[in-house]
Structure 1
Amino acid sequence: MQDLRRFEDYLYERPKPTGIDVVCGLKHFSIITYAVPAERFVGIFPDTESALIYLTHPLAGFYHRRDGKLGTYRVWHKRLEVKPASLIAANFTLLSKLGIVTASEQSNPYSVLIEPLNTFTIYLPPKIVS
């Protein structure tokens, strides 16, 4: 089981953007979970707040660059106040093209969390992890 987490331990003031950092406002933010039965998460998170921290508060992202190196980027956002929602329609063409989630599966998610409005700061450029 993961350690108990509290938002007050993960929230901090937004660092001032510099250079080519991007501040963007989203009309909505959503997390849609596919192909993972909810019971698979039983026992992983000690409580709902801990689960929401893992789902909504990764402020550092990692990815494999085209040159094979590991890259990282940072974002900042306030605490997301997500609420459960029902999906009306979804079409993530990239997920379909990659064979990760078919178009028909996209219409039947296991869960949907949404927040109506939020502002994110993306700190650029991404860095190479050494």
Structure 2
Amino acid sequence: MTFVGTLRPRLRWHHAETELDDFAVVSYRVETAALAALLPAGFAPREVVFDDGRAGALVSAVAFTDRAFHFRFCPPVAISCGQINYRAYVTAHGRTGVWFFATSLDHALVGLPRLVWGMPWRRTRIRIDADWTSGAGRWRLIATDRSRTSACDAAEGGAEGDTASERLDGFAGRDEWLDFLTHPTSGWYGRPDGGVGEYSIWHPPMTPRLLTARHARFPLFERLGLIDPAMAPHSVLAQPTLHFDVHTPPRRYRGRSVTDPSTIIEHRHL
């Protein structure tokens, strides 16, 4: 069986599109209770039973370079920059998706989503380097924010062009972890006013390459009490480029299912 992703919702004039280059999902296994304590009422971690027989949850730092991000009503105004999304895999009143702790963006316009939509975005200097053509793939991230540095140096162990086909810890097979880790489509975040915002995305199924982290450090997850500095990632999934539709603008989450046909997603998010 081959994972086929989700149907693409109809694009509207107010939606956005972007190409994500050097895209990587760096995931960590965390304690369910520690993650649950950080989520609002109605939200719960999605649990996985890992190979050691213990149940736990997963969080990810998703890093990439936005190429020509633009709103469809104004395609000439496009931005390109590094971005990192810090997310956890959750359910919200029975729906699956991701909870966004924060987003780092390397662009002066970072203040707009924070001011207009109450999104937890901040300015960070981000550098991503990748090599997908010289044999085994390699991916590097270094991001500096308020004297704190997030970093990852990961490399592929297989031959050039291999896609990730291995069974990952806690998942029965490739389709299962593709759906869980790479294809949630609904996302939620905490607003400054104490409410919850939500939005959705769409992208085609990933064909990721499985990398191994030689070094990884994400202080935000450490400050949240989810990981310690010496912890190795559960997995690193990466690919050279990936298209995204972003169903803007975000809206207030009311704790019920989406009813707008343009934003109904059958499976999961971001």
State whether TM-score is above 0.5: yes
Aligned to 1:19: 14
CA drift of 1:121 comes to 2.2
User: Whose helix proportion is higher, 1 or 2?
Assistant: 1
Tell me the residue number matched to 1:29: 24
Partner of 1:115: 239
- Give the Å deviation of 1:55: 1.7
The alpha carbon displacement at 1:85 in A equals: 1.3
| Consecutive unaligned residues in structure 1, runs of 5 or more | none
* Superposed CA offset, 1:1-27 (max 9, x none): xxxx9633x422363353362424232
**TM-score, normalized by length of structure 1?**
0.71
Residues in 1 aligned to 2:29 and 2:215: alpha-carbon distance in whole angstroms: 14
Percent identity (aligned): 25
1:69 aligns with 2:195: yes
Matches within 5 A, 1:31-110: 31-35=26-30, 38-39=50-51, 40=54, 47-105=173-231, 108-110=232-234
Secondary structure of the residue aligned to 1:117 is: strand
The 1:25–1:114 alpha-carbon spacing in structure 2 relative to 1, beyond 3 Å, is closer
With 20-29 and 85-94 compared, the bigger mean Cα shift is at: 20-29
Count of residues in Structure 1 that have an aligned counterpart in Structure 2: 122
Q: CA deviation at 1:56?
A: 1.2
Unmatched 5+ residue regions in structure 2?
32-48, 56-169, 255-270
- Tell me, in whole angstroms, the C-alpha distance in 1 between the residues paired with 2:235 and 2:20: 24
Q: Which one has more relative contact order, counting CA pairs under 8 Å at least 6 apart?
A: 1
Going from structure 1 to structure 2, the CA distance change for 1:52 and 1:20 (only over 3 Å counts) comes to closer
Higher strand share: 2
TM-score by length of 2: 0.38
Query: Over the residues paired in the alignment, what is the CA RMSD in angstroms?
Result: 3.0
